[in-house]
Structure 1
Amino acid sequence: MNSKKKIVAFVEPSFYGVSFVRAAYEQGFQIISIVSSPENPVKYGYEGIYHDLIIADIRDEDSLYEAITNSEYHHKLDALIPATDYASHLTAKVAERLGLKGVPYEAALKSRNKDLAREAYAEHDVPSAKFKKVKTFEEAALAAGQIGYPVVLKPTNASSSQKVFFIHSSGELEQAMADIVDFKETYMNFKVREEYLIEEYLDGQEFSVELFLQDGDPIFAAVTEKTTSPLPYFVEIVHTLPTSVYSERQEDIVNTAVSALRAIGLINGPSHVEVKLTDKGPRIIEVNGRPGGDNISSDLLIQALGFDIFKATVHYYLDLPIDIHTHQNRAASVAYLTAVKDGTVSTIRGLEHIADNENVIRSHISVQSGDRIVVPKSSDDRLGYVITIGNTPTEAREAALGLIRNIELIYT
């Protein structure tokens, strides 16, 4: 490493992006956080592990660019890294303007917009879902009739299963369209596009593939097994790494994920690709051009394999050596606590078992007595989690599930 301390700027660290800040800070780099509010380091949990703030409208490319060029760090930044999904394409464009290394803007734009990604998959023969982009109920009904029920209705540029609907009929579709058109803003006040996707429902086991690519080839790959909530919702409630099922199909799953990344132009750096293994083979759900969230990259990869994808990504942006070797061989799982019905919690039982369990690495239960809870429709409705390790994926998964199932929520 050069004797001069590298200066690394992150755009709006939040959720998974906090792990970027921590990885860079622990490496001894100078950390600049570009944020929409000076309160955000406390809000997202990285107070004390950054060195300076730059305030900007992270929803606006010119605001980001001008905030950097008008700061003392103009011509001094060694890296500019998106630390939230929503600003990834804007960060890519600003990095281009500053002459810094980054993801190609068009690739970042496609990874943020599901319709553009689906179009790229179709153009490059990547196995995916049938889809139509729609604006009105009439267009949606026509598309659903052409694709065939059941279908999925979703926003083109949201995440965390927000406003994703499983639909059997025209009547359900009409209700869902009335709901989705009122969804105007997502996290951090980013606008939701008034264009939506009708997609073929893909039936099968769901996975995510955690990848690091170099010139289009994977130098690291791991397959995470996923469990989602009962239909009609798609909330992720268990992740296990590596997968405990269909291990013989991992190569097919990884190859399909890599083909999707190549199709949209994400050929370097980290990614998190969601795949379903259908009776016709792996099919792409969506691509994210960043490390996986939901404790997958921050906990499961590290606990199971000893691989820090955040550190590797920071090194990639700084043109430093990347350590992609796995340093251990075990399994890890995270299971989320969810409500089985809507209501108000009076008592929570079973938490004492978590602290006594030797498999537990970390847990966080956010629900308290008096809280109003709902059956989860998006990731925001989950009530906490338990992270466990095991010698095998099945052991880790069953440990996490067992502890979550032992938590009893008593309703008033």
Structure 2
Amino acid sequence: RDAEAVAAAPLRDFDDLRAFGVRHGYPFVVKPTAATASIGVFRVDDPSGHEAVWEQVCRLRGTRTDRVSTLLVLDDFLMEEYVHGREFSVETFSFAGRHVVVTITEKMTDPGHFAELGHAVPARLTEDAWDRVGECVGTFLDHLGFTDGPCHTEVRLSGTRARIIEGHHRYGGDAIPELVRAVYGIDLDRLAVGWPFRLVDPLPDSPAPRGAGCVRAVVGPPGRVLSVEGVPEAARQPDVLAVRISARPGDEVRPLRDNWDRLGLVAVTGPTVVAAAQRGARLVDEFIRIRIRDDRGAVHLARVAEVHQLTGAVG
């Protein structure tokens, strides 16, 4: 099952970019080996992009990024094959070598950048596709020798194949634990803390969902934040799990490249994924007022990130 993983190689010098493109083709991805939120991730579409990407890598190496305090230094970079297809994350918890798929999360993305625009639980996959994704991740965790605790594994479905993009020995961020708790009644914090000491019972099998949940990102045009209003009111509304707005008056709003360029997120529940996604959009439209002045002096309101992946099952 090694063919399920993407081709990858370390990026040490400029010539590595050319060699990887010749061997594996285009497009391919350059990203740091230790970072979060898609910081420092670039897509190389053809040889003309080598110089620009190499300049960015040299600029970022040795930094902790200029947008968020982190313990992770952007030092080593790698190149990996770009996989076309819909993106998912698999939230698992392992009990003495037995991997339980808690849920598969459907990602809302845009081909123009690597920022995540939303997450939906449970993913709208056919039963066969759900099984293929789960089996692929279980094999991946076995190869790693991983036996206990939470994992957040990112996958793309390329045709009928599930391809591993990357894995993390933690559960997902962006309010995914809140979605899991609301939709499945499972507290990932409790499992993560209690299982090493055997203070909690293992999950017998993958749980059944009770409705659906969705996270929607809040974004805005480049400029500077003038004011932020409506957050407490939004958080008090029915079916709302979280309202996390990071934007503050005076903050710079940058072009959307990674998760830290977003202005915040909302997480809500609903009877279906589509209903929850629509509920999240209405919540932002009705309550969240983030005013942004662009470089021409015009004032804009932040909005929910537009997505095009809210119809039909994937399989």
Runs of at least 5 residues in structure 2 that lack an aligned partner in the other structure: 298-315
Match 1:185 to one of 63, 78, 82: 63
Give the CA deviation at 1:281. Answer: 1.1
Give the CA deviation at 1:162. Answer: 0.9
Give the CA deviation at 1:361. Answer: 2.6
Runs of at least 5 residues in structure 1 that lack an aligned partner in the other structure: 1-123
2:106 is matched with 225
1:164 is matched with 41
Q: Does 1:335 align with 2:219?
A: no
Give the CA deviation at 1:146. Answer: 1.6
Give the CA deviation at 1:126. Answer: 4.9
Instruction: Tell me whether 207-216 or 358-367 shows the greater mean CA deviation.
Output: 358-367
Match 1:284 to one of 164, 176, 179: 164
8 Å CA contact 2:94–2:147 kept in 1: the answer is: yes
* 3-state DSSP of counterpart to 2:31: strand
Deviations, residues 288-347 of structure 1 (Å, cap 9, x unaligned) = 1111112112x11111111011211212111223253759612111111122x3112346
* 3-state DSSP of counterpart to 1:337: strand
2:6 is matched with 129
2:196 is matched with 317
* 3-state DSSP of counterpart to 1:188: coil
Deviations, residues 262-309 of structure 1 (Å, cap 9, x unaligned) = 111112221111100111411001111111112112x11111111011
Deviations, residues 113-162 of structure 1 (Å, cap 9, x unaligned) = xxxxxxxxxxx625021222221111112112221111111112222101
Match 2:124 to one of 244, 251, 259: 244
| CA distance 1:307–1:247, change in 2 (3 Å) | same
Where do residues 7-406 of structure 1 align in structure 2 (5 Å cutoff)?
Answer: 125-183=2-60, 184-186=62-64, 188-194=70-76, 196-231=77-112, 233-246=113-126, 248-297=128-177, 299-322=178-201, 324=203, 326=207, 329-339=210-220, 341-346=221-226, 354=234, 357-404=237-284
Give the CA deviation at 1:250. Answer: 0.9
Opposite residue 190 of structure 2, the aligned amino acid is K
| CA distance 1:229–1:338, change in 2 (3 Å) | farther
- The whole-number CA distance in structure 2 between the counterparts of 1:378 and 1:248 is 32
Give the CA deviation at 1:360. Answer: 2.1
8 Å CA contact 2:235–2:242 kept in 1: the answer is: no
8 Å CA contact 2:255–2:261 kept in 1: the answer is: yes
TM-score by length of 2: 0.81
1:31 is matched with none
Give the CA deviation at 1:372. Answer: 1.8
8 Å CA contact 2:118–2:216 kept in 1: the answer is: yes
Opposite residue 181 of structure 2, the aligned amino acid is I
* 3-state DSSP of counterpart to 1:284: strand
Deviations, residues 176-235 of structure 1 (Å, cap 9, x unaligned) = 1111122213353433333x222111111110111011233223421110112441x211
State which structure, 1 or 2, has the greater radius of gyration over its C-alpha atoms: 1
Give the CA deviation at 1:354. Answer: 3.4
The percentage of aligned residue pairs carrying the same residue is 28
Structure with more strand by fraction: 2
Structure with more helix by fraction: 1
* 3-state DSSP of counterpart to 2:225: strand
- The whole-number CA distance in structure 2 between the counterparts of 1:215 and 1:282 is 25
* 3-state DSSP of counterpart to 1:145: helix
Opposite residue 56 of structure 2, the aligned amino acid is D
Opposite residue 214 of structure 2, the aligned amino acid is S
- The whole-number CA distance in structure 2 between the counterparts of 1:315 and 1:274 is 25
| CA distance 1:400–1:364, change in 2 (3 Å) | same
Instruction: Tell me whether 299-308 or 238-247 shows the greater mean CA deviation.
Output: 238-247
| CA distance 1:151–1:219, change in 2 (3 Å) | closer
**How many residue pairs get matched?**
285
Give the CA deviation at 1:386. Answer: 0.9
